[in-house]
Amino acid sequence: MKSLLLENLQHIRLEQAFKEWLEVTGYAASSVYSMPIHLREFLHYLEQSKRALEELIPQDINNYFFHLKQRKLAQQGRKIKQTGVMSIKYLHKHLHGIKLFSRYLRETEQGSFETDIILPGQKQHIKDILTKEEIRQLYAACDTSPIGLRDRAMLSIFYGCGLRRNEGVNLDTSDILQNNNLLYVRKGKNYKERYVPITEEIKQDLKEYLYYGRNAQLKDFTTDAFFISERGARITGQSLMIRLRQLLLKAEITKEVGLHSLRHSIATHLLQSGMRLQNIARFLGHKSLESTQIYTQIINKL
């Protein structure tokens, strides 16, 4: 809680340094404000329990969350359960703050501690992630027909470029900046624009579809849409989803995944290959690192 006062000078310094780290790392203003408050409550608990930060063990974290579950919220207006104890949602925020603090300590070479506690309602999204081998199988399932070339371009847009469903559907042919090896996303989330780098392999997939597959389906030469249907109109996300399901069936992949799963998969694979979280966030068009943090949790469970 904000009203708690810390006595340990090291804890006071760490709270301020943690806040500055959140700002520099690019977290949202709401997190920069709230996460140090959660940390202060944790550090205050350690002071009261006579526990040193550098000596923490997983049981200490479990004890802290048991303490939180039993503690009633003193502040008025805070949403609480009928029992009067802290809500699960608020506990999750505390856990997120403590995990971020542990990461801050590790990245600034000040040590770290384990936070393997599982709270009710925590969800993992591992089932939505395709492996690199499964991605290769999807590409192999694409044939050389106009539809097959579009299938391959679809994989390159949603996996290779990590676009959201609507971003891919709204792509125009002029958004493929081949000379600069860039993809221009005009209609990103919250109307944000961005440029996405494309590899030579992806560039080749897009060119083959653009000049052969798309032209074979084109009916109206004034159409700007990159992805078009067999009728020559801008394709819908649902139609692309149907094609993805057919590719999954052909590749004998039984996971229930969608277009957004391709985006989740490339983010996970980039993180596994060593790309920095900040660069992945920029690649995906995330406003802050909070949305990208989920992939660090996923790779720890794979």
Residue 162 has pLDDT above 60, yes or no: yes
Is 38 part of the annotated catalytic residue set? no
Average pLDDT value for residue range 274-287: 90
The confidence score (pLDDT) of residue 62 equals 81
The confidence score (pLDDT) of residue 190 equals 60
Q: Kindly report, residue by residue over 13-43, the tens digit of the pLDDT.
A: 999 999 998 888 777 788 888 899 999 999 9
Phi, psi of 2 (to 5 degrees): -65, -30
pTM for this model (two decimals)? 0.61
Catalytic residue among 164, 203, 264, 269: 164
- Residue (of 164, 126, 165, 130) closest to 247 by Cα position: 130
Could you give all domains of the chain from N- to C-terminal order, each with its CATH number?
9-107 (no CATH), 126-301 (1.10.443.10)
Average pLDDT value for residue range 96-101: 86
Q: Say if residues 177 and 206 touch (Cβ distance below 8 Å).
A: no
Is 165 part of the annotated catalytic residue set? no
Q: Of the ranges 134-143, 147-156, 157-166, 250-259, which one carries the lowest mean pLDDT score?
A: 250-259
Is 94 part of the annotated catalytic residue set? no
Catalytic residue among 189, 207, 234, 250: 189
Is 295 part of the annotated catalytic residue set? yes
Q: Kindly report, residue by residue over 197-231, the tens digit of the pLDDT.
A: 999 999 999 999 999 999 999 988 888 999 999 99
Is 263 part of the annotated catalytic residue set? yes
What are the strands of the beta sheet with 194-197, ordered from one edge?
176-177, 182-185, 194-197
Catalytic residue among 40, 152, 263, 264: 263
For the CA atoms of 274, 276, 277, 280, the dihedral, rounded to the nearest 10 degrees, stands at -90
